Amino acid sequence: MDGLGIAEMQTALRSGEVTAVQLTTSALTRAHQATIDFKAFSTLSKNALIDAAKSDQRLRENLGRPLEGIPVGVKDLIDTSGVETVYGSEAYIGNVPTQDADVVRVLREQGAVVIGKTTTHEFAWGVTTSSCKFGNTLNPIDPTRIPGGSSGGAAVAIACGAVAAGLGTDTGGSVRIPAALCGVVGFKPTFGKLPTEGIFALAPSLDHPGILGAAVADVAILAEAFGIRQARPTQQGNQRIGVVNYIRPVPLDQHVSLAFNEALLTLDRAFELTKLNAEDLFEGVFAAFAGIVLAEGGMVHFERSSQATISSKYGQETYDRLERAKVVVLADYINWQQTRRDFRTRLEATLANLDFLILPTTPCVAPLVGQAEVTVGPWTGSVREALMTYTAPFNMAGYPAISLPLPVHSGAIPCGLQIIGRPGLDVALLAVAQRIETIFKNGK
């Protein structure tokens, strides 16, 4: 039963071909191996098989719920009752929440079985899912490379087949970036669509709970649990899609450029594509995003933790960022928020005559573990700026976004196609993503 999508698992469970205990046992075995090999999970649930047995009982009694017996992973930033949740930090070792975050409660109420907590960058404040304390999470396609982050463990767990889907969070690309770098699907719904209660905040005005999956269908089934109902993928070719090739100052590397341009040739046969001159659209957005994260992240941690705890228990990277947060002034925050409002206005105008935008999820493939900077053509900058420049703007706007794998040649490192929809039109975004995924698989 290895490698099944959620829909196939549901069919097999209802027919009695497989039990929830069997699915969960297999998931735990694969999760354990993925943790040994790539550090995919921070902890596995001791109650998973108990929960699976309860699902089997409900299925025998014809009381199965929509996600009955389906194994899922949950990012270690999200509270899970009875399962240690350390938020990727030494400061929270031994923390066992007494109740589920709202997003976990919804999945459990629909019958999903939480098998464990997938690894995260400390407090989700980073894009590498590396940790001096717990060890680095590694890319399963090439273990010399990072998986992306901060929801890196979830992408690795899915790429390894431990689960078909799971929960992550996305403040500036933290679902979509690891999805792109590990060859899976990552979905960030419209801001506010999924509840954040019980999730450790990074920057509250930018934080989005998100869903990762092996395929768009797996993501869509989990999304349905939150009221994002599935729609039949449209077969009409009149959808208007704007194409963004480049967001200054980070150009596309050769690998991503080739894959993206080949994908455009394929999609041009199915959609009305319009190449956009987006030079001014994203002006100043990444800098404002970085400032808002610094300011709001500082407020979260200075309220929650003492200086002594921050100094002794936080990782050096987080500590250094909080030191920088101390000198942020309100006037700067006001200006960053105005930049955000101006960007939303420009983005709304750009989409006025379009249904969707498409662009690469990241401008480069996964950097090497420990790599501090990325060089693409004449540009050199931090790994963080390289990986987030193409994703963070849509957290600033709160627009729904999804990353799915771009077709690449056999043995090539994965990269992603990002699709952006209008706020609130999450169902339409998932539908067009499923259509594009099918086109990519069929090659036409």
The string of pLDDT tens digits covering residues 261-285 is: 999 999 999 999 999 998 899 999 9
Architecture of domain 1-238+362-444: Alpha-Beta Complex (3.90)
Distance CA 179, CA 191 (A): 19
Give me the amino acid identity at 3: G
Helix (H) or strand (E) holding 168: strand 165-170
Instruction: Tell me the average pLDDT of the chain.
Output: 96
- Tell me: the pLDDT tens digits for 162-175? 999 999 999 999 99
Both structure tokens of 442: 């069929």
pLDDT-based confidence at residue 199 (cuts at 50, 70, 90): very high
| Neighbouring residues of 346: CB distance < 8 A, sequence distance ≥ 6 | 280, 281
Question: Which of 90, 219, 124, 226 has its CA nearest to residue 166?
Answer: 219
- CA–CA distance from 390 to each of 54, 90, 132, 291, 396 (Å)? 43, 31, 28, 17, 12
Give me the amino acid identity at 392: A
pLDDT(437) > 80 = yes
Tallying the residues shown for the chain, one arrives at 444
pLDDT-based confidence at residue 43 (cuts at 50, 70, 90): very high
DSSP letter assigned to residue 122: G
pLDDT-based confidence at residue 233 (cuts at 50, 70, 90): low
Partners of 376 in the β-ladder: 379
pTM of the model as a whole: 0.97
3-state secondary structure of 62: coil
The per-residue pLDDT for 236 is 54
The per-residue pLDDT for 208 is 98
- By percentage, how much of the chain surpasses pLDDT 90? 95
Count the Cβ atoms, other than its own, within 10 Å of residue 229: 11
Rounded to 5 degrees, φ, ψ at 253 are -75, 170
Helix (H) or strand (E) holding 38: helix 20-38
- CA–CA distance from 90 to each of 73, 140, 246 (Å)? 21, 25, 39
- CA–CA distance from 369 to each of 149, 364, 373, 434 (Å)? 12, 14, 11, 32
Cis peptide before 249 (omega within 30 of 0): yes
Give the active site residues: 75, 150, 174
Residue for token digits 């901060």? 150
